[in-house]
Amino acid sequence: MRAPVSVIIPTLNAERALAPLLLSLFEGLDSGVIREVIVANGGSDDSTMMMAEKVGCLVVQGAKGRGEQICKGISVAKGDWLLILHA
């Protein structure tokens, strides 16, 4: 059985807050509850995207605006359940 939860994180220049958030998700990934972590970026000019890619997140790029970013993340999510987290 595949993990049921897709986590979607809309970001914009969130490098400081993203690291601790991603660390808090590792237990759910390891236990099989979280299927994927999707970082929906709105045009960051810091290391947000590099950090997310480095730890294995799926990174999608979209227009600025949380609503747009969340929709972009939802469009690629494969889980049965969606969890939207803000960094």
Average pLDDT rounded to a whole number, residues 64-85: 96
SS (H, E, C) the chain: CCCCEEEEEEECCCHHHHHHHHHHHHHHHHHCCEEEEEEEECCCCCCHHHHHHHCCCEEEECCCCHHHHHHHHHHHCCCCEEEECCC
pTM of the model: 0.94
Confidence at residue 1, expressed as pLDDT on a 0 to 100 scale: 64
Percent of the chain with pLDDT over 70: 99
Confidence at residue 2, expressed as pLDDT on a 0 to 100 scale: 74
Confidence at residue 87, expressed as pLDDT on a 0 to 100 scale: 85
22-59: pLDDT as tens digits:
999 999 999 999 999 999 999 999 999 999 999 999 99
